[in-house]
C-alpha cells in the first residue's frame, strides 16, 4: 500500500531527477510545495517552463544565455584577447563570482571521456577554434583536475598551440578530482593567477 498519493510520488520522482537530490530531500521539497499558496505554485511552474524554453546558448561562448550574446560576451569592457575554457556553465559562473578575471569564456559542454563515448566531436571545440581569429592571445584551460579534464586540456593544448596562441593551464591550487563549481574564491583566484604555459610544438586536428 502506497504511503503517499500517486501525485505526490510523481512530483517526488521529478525532484529526484535533479543533480544531488535523494529521495528524502525530494520528498521534503514535494511536501513543501503543498504548503505553498496556489499562486506561488503557479509562479513556480511558470518559472520552470520559462527557464527551459527561454534559455539558450550564447552564439559566441556557448554559455547559457537569455539572448543572442551572454552578458559577459556583450560587455564592452571585457578583455577579448583572453579566453578561459571551462567544462560547463557552472564553472564559468564560479570563476565569474571571483570578480578577478576580466576575459571571456568558452563552455565545452563536457569533457573527452572514451568510457562514456564522448569524443572531441561531441564538445564545442570547433566553436572554440573558430574564435581564434588572431585577436585572441591566450587560452586558459580551466577544465577540472580529473583524468577526463586533464585529457581534454592536453588535447586542446596540442590543437591550439600551433596556431600561435599562448595556452595555459590553471595551477594546482585545485585539488585532484575537484570541481571548479564547488571551489572557494581564494582557491580559484590562485588557480588562475598561478596558471602555467602548456604550449607545445605538436599539433592535433579538430574532429
The domain limits of the chain are 6-54, 57-197
- For the chain, the distance separating the N- and C-terminal CA atoms, rounded to the nearest angstrom, is 54
Query: Which pLDDT band, with edges at 50, 70 and 90, does 206 fall under?
Result: very low
Superfamily of chain region 6-54: RecR Domain 1 (1.10.8.420)
Residue 191 has pLDDT above 80, yes or no: no
Query: Which pLDDT band, with edges at 50, 70 and 90, does 2 fall under?
Result: low
| pLDDT, position 158 | 94
Domain 57-197: give its CATH architecture.
Answer: 3-Layer(aba) Sandwich (3.40)
| pLDDT, position 197 | 74
Q: What is the mean pLDDT of residues 150-158?
A: 95
Q: 134 and 89 in contact (C-beta within 8 Å)?
A: no
Residue 85 has pLDDT above 60, yes or no: yes
Residue 52 has pLDDT above 50, yes or no: yes
Residue 94 has pLDDT above 60, yes or no: yes
Please tell me the pTM assigned to this model.
Answer: 0.78
Query: Which pLDDT band, with edges at 50, 70 and 90, does 170 fall under?
Result: confident
Amino acid at each position: 500500500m502506497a504511503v503517499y498519493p500517486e501525485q505526490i510520488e510523481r512530483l517526488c520522482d521529478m525532484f529526484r531527477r535533479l543533480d544531488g537530490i535523494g529521495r528524502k530531500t525530494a520528498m521534503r521539497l514535494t511536501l513543501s510545495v503543498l504548503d505553498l499558496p496556489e499562486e506561488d505554485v503557479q509562479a513556480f511552474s511558470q518559472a520552470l517552463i520559462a527557464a527551459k524554453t527561454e534559455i539558450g546558448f550564447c552564439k559566441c561562448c556557448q554559455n547559457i544565455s537569455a539572448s543572442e550574446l551572454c552578458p559577459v560576451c556583450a560587455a564592452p569592457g571585457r578583455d577579448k584577447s583572453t579566453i578561459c575554457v571551462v567544462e560547463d556553465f557552472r564553472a564559468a559562473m564560479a570563476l565569474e563570482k571571483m570578480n578577478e578575471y576580466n576575459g571571456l569564456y568558452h563552455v565545452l559542454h563536457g569533457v573527452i571521456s572514451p568510457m562514456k563515448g564522448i569524443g572531441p566531436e561531441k564538445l564545442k571545440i570547433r566553436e572554440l577554434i573558430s574564435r581564434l581569429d588572431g585577436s585572441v592571445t591566450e587560452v586558459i584551460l580551466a577544465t577540472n583536475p580529473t583524468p577526463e579534464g586533464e585529457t581534454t586540456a592536453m588535447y586542446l593544448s596540442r590543437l591550439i598551440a600551433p596556431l600561435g596562441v599562448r595556452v595555459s593551464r590553471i595551477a594546482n591550487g585545485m585539488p585532484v578530482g575537484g570541481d571548479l563549481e564547488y571551489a572557494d574564491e581564494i582557491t580559484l583566484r590562485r588557480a588562475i593567477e598561478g596558471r602555467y604555459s602548456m604550449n607545445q610544438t605538436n599539433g592535433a586536428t579538430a574532429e
